[in-house]
Amino acid sequence: MDFGLEGKLAFVGGASRGIGKAIALELAREGADVVVGSRSMPDLEQTAAEIVETTGRRAIPMSFDATNREQVDRVINDAADTLGGLHILVNSASLPGGSPSATGPIEDLIDEELLSDFDVKFVGALRCSRAAIPMLKAQGFGRIINISGLNARNAGNLSGGARNTSLVHMTKTLAAQLGQFGITVNCIHPGTTRTERTPSLLASRAEQLGVSPEEAEAQDFSPGSARGNHICRMVDASEIGYLTAFLASDKAWAITGELIAAGGGTGSAVYY
């Protein structure tokens, strides 16, 4: 299927590694030129070079801090100037999993870490969207895709769950405000996803269990396990890229203000 992304112009925040990098790579594979943004310029330069080599599309690294409005406004405008416009904004900047203190009892929660999580992921996405919206409105076309996470549906992570839930609300609000201008806004909930961090995490898990990394992964995703899902395997970051490319495409006009979970069927709750 032709997604109609040939020649489209995209900015992907949080794209130096992980899910953001996989999304940028998939958009480029579908014919888009991309600016990849995050705090780490060395990682961004490596990612951009890989995208260019793999796809032949333009990939331009630009560093920015999502907590700084001036930097956000600058990088979005510089991205549009360098690319020659902007059609797609992907908000994927965040600390994976949320702040460490938010995964335990509320007594252990560190206020500054909680606020930092929100400042990067939720307010950062808001800042990027606010900077991009005027140019998307002016051309009568735009795609905004927010990368949230399944912590929003699972109790236990106060910061990760709350920041992800807030992104869902922002997605619906912006969709209602912007649909009349030809702009769709959607949200993706990844679950446990295979990225560059996965081998070291599996090695640590395997050491705890006294098994090989392969055995540890098989145990964690077996039916009935705490982290198991319906497909009994870990979702790869490239699969989040495929979904993002579809939502960014000309084939997804009817979808806006929606949340799509991409965790392989994690959980047993029924949503309607």
The two tokens of residue 185 are 């806004």
81 located within any domain: yes
* CA separation for the pair 13, 79 (Å, rounded): 11
- pLDDT tens per residue across span 112-159: 888 998 999 999 999 999 999 999 999 999 999 999 998 888 877 788
Total domains present in the chain: 2
Q: Are residues 136 and 123 in the same domain?
A: yes
* CA separation for the pair 111, 267 (Å, rounded): 29
Report whether pLDDT(99) > 80. Answer: no
14 located within any domain: yes
CATH number at residue 119: 3.40.50.720
Q: Are residues 91 and 222 in the same domain?
A: no
Between the CA of residue 197 and those of 100, 123, 255, 264, what are the distances in Å? 16, 25, 32, 19
Q: What is the pLDDT of residue 187?
A: 98
Report whether pLDDT(97) > 70. Answer: no
The residue-averaged pLDDT of 12-21 equals: 96
Q: How many C-beta neighbours within 10 Å does residue 218 have? A: 14
CA 10 to chain centre: 14
183 located within any domain: yes
Q: Are residues 89 and 207 in the same domain?
A: no
- What percent of the chain is helix, strand and coil (3-state, nearest 5)? 50, 15, 35
Q: Are residues 102 and 56 in the same domain?
A: yes
83 located within any domain: yes
pLDDT band, very low/low/confident/very high, at 46 (cuts 50, 70, 90): very high
* CA separation for the pair 67, 158 (Å, rounded): 20
- The CB-side HSE value for 242 (13 A sphere, CA atoms) comes to 7
35 located within any domain: yes
Q: What is the pLDDT of residue 36?
A: 98
Q: Are residues 37 and 90 in the same domain?
A: yes
Q: Are residues 221 and 167 in the same domain?
A: no
Q: Are residues 85 and 161 in the same domain?
A: yes
Containing domain of residue 108, as a range? 9-192+236-262
Between the CA of residue 155 and those of 91, 148, 183, what are the distances in Å? 24, 15, 33
Strand partners, 12: 36, 90
The residue-averaged pLDDT of 23-46 equals: 97
- pLDDT tens per residue across span 204-257: 888 888 899 898 888 888 877 767 899 999 999 999 999 999 999 999 999 999
172 located within any domain: yes
* CB of 15 closer than 8 Å to CB of 21: yes
65 located within any domain: yes
2 located within any domain: no
Select from 188, 180, 195, 189 the least CA-distant residue to 246: 188
